[in-house]
Amino acid sequence: MQQVLGFSPLEADLAFLPVSTVIEVVAGLAWHHLPKYGPKHFMLLDSLCLAPWAAPG
């Protein structure tokens, strides 16, 4: 990001902060609910969330 978008080191770090925060929150929630629902539900949810970005075109 620094070379392509011309961000400073601090700007590049701050650009990833929202993603890191979401990952931390979701991982915490998944850890608590995994024994109750099992991994299949989380795998399906991940696939549905990532499908728009994985679709070609």
pLDDT in tens, 5-34: 899 999 988 988 888 888 888 888 888 888
pLDDT at 10: 93
Q: Place 43 in a pLDDT band, splitting at 50, 70 and 90.
A: confident
Count CA within 13 A, CB hemisphere, residue 12: 9
Query: Distance between alpha carbon 21 and the CA centroid of its chain, in Å?
Result: 9
Q: Show Cβ contacts of residue 53 under 8 Å, excluding neighbours closer than 6 positions.
A: none
Q: Place 57 in a pLDDT band, splitting at 50, 70 and 90.
A: low
CA distances from residue 55 to 15, 42, 47, 49, 52 in whole angstroms, order as listed: 24, 20, 11, 12, 6
pTM over 0.95: no
